[in-house]
Amino acid sequence: MSLRLGKIRMKAPRGEHYDVAIIGGGPAGLSAAIYAGRFLLKTIVLAEEVGGQLNLTDWIDDYPGFRRVRASQLVRNFKMHAEMFNAEIVEMVRVERFYRTESGEYRILGTRGLDIYAKTIIMAVGSKRRKLGVPGEREFANKGVSYCSVCDAPLFDGKDAVAVVGGGDAAFEGAILLSGYVKKVYLIHRRDQFRAKPFFVEEAKSRPNIEFVLNSVVDEIKGDTSVRSVVVRNKITGEKREIPVDGIFIEIGFEPPKEWFQSLGLETDATGYIKVDEWMRTNLPGVFAAGDCTTMWLGFRQVITAAAMGAVAAYSAYDYLAEKGLYKPYKPDGK
């Protein structure tokens, strides 16, 4: 699902100066834009695609104030809210690099001729979920293929069976949660050893409706209007088995752009996430980070946590500018 909301500038801005440039257009980035606008900062959002990870799901039922809302509608609400506070949103642009100039501003360069300056930067680029890369995965995205058990488990309430792929904490936590919603959970893992915490492993083994399918990989996802089965191959025997399921949850981790972060001078942890403190500050002066690209709350990735981090990052950018004597309220109408 690709969102194309509002007008897309034919050319990215050149030579313009901003109080804060937000790189990324998911919940963290748009939340940061809302708060930056409320602090009267001249704000720009630079996004390859507005929506971020929300573009990989259909319905949201765990965001306060919305009992159930389409992800695309929630993104539109975020975007319109940010624009209401005068945030400029530029889509279909990719930031390639930035560096600090002698004046203390950051020069930001990217595709479509992007060349601007900002006193502060908020990194909110998210982190791409790893995919299986098998037939049917793309075709049934949002039609039974999910990448977040914690997010989507309630949507499968009362279903006969689902599959969970993975051997880490997220896979086990998802399988345990799903076992309370569906009649049968198949936990598929390519090995017979797990990375998950022993507590999760023992808890999953104690659930009578969780079946382990080990030393196995998914070869294909089948269905009609939605997922109906998965074809699993045993890596040792080569035997294939088609398992009827109503959905498949792919929990095999994330891939943050570690090399890019490090090329910008950002400090990361061993797996590539940007190191931040509780105020979303990075190791670079005036550069903050929020959402799934950070080390904050690594085990719990949700829309609400991303939005919270975006709000904190915007406040920290405002506070940084105020402390440096660089804050001047931005009013587009000049009043």
**pLDDT, average across residues 58-80:** 88
Q: What is the pLDDT of residue 335?
A: 53
Q: How confident is the model at residue 2 (pLDDT cuts 50, 70, 90)?
A: very low
CATH of 145-250, one of 1.10.238.10, 3.50.50.60, 3.40.50.300, 3.40.50.720: 3.50.50.60
Domain ranges of the chain: 14-129+254-323, 145-250
Q: How confident is the model at residue 56 (pLDDT cuts 50, 70, 90)?
A: low
Catalytic residue among 152, 169, 246, 292: 152
Query: Hey, CA dihedral for 166, 172, 176, 178, is it positive or negative?
Result: negative
Task: State yes or no: pLDDT of 53 exceeds 90.
Answer: no
Q: String of b and e for 36-56 (b: at least 16 CB within 10 Å)?
A: bbbbbbbbbbbbbbbbbbbbb
Task: State yes or no: pLDDT of 248 exceeds 50.
Answer: yes
Task: Let me know if 61 is a catalytic residue.
Answer: no
Vertex 226, ends 225 and 228: CA angle to 5°?
A: 115
Task: State yes or no: pLDDT of 129 exceeds 60.
Answer: yes
Q: How confident is the model at residue 4 (pLDDT cuts 50, 70, 90)?
A: very low
Catalytic residue among 19, 61, 115, 148: 148
Q: What is the pLDDT of residue 204?
A: 96
pTM of the model: 0.74
Convert the pLDDT of each residue in 8-52 to its tens digit. Answer: 455 788 999 999 999 999 999 999 999 999 999 999 999 998 988
Domain 14-129+254-323 grouped into CATH 3.40.50.1370: no
Q: What is the pLDDT of residue 10?
A: 54
Q: Tell me how far CA of residue 220 lies from CA of 58, 72, 223, 228, 246, in angstroms.
A: 22, 27, 10, 11, 14
Cα separation, 64 vs 69, in Å, equals 11
Catalytic residue among 151, 169, 292, 293: 151
Cα separation, 113 vs 133, in Å, equals 33
Cα separation, 292 vs 308, in Å, equals 12
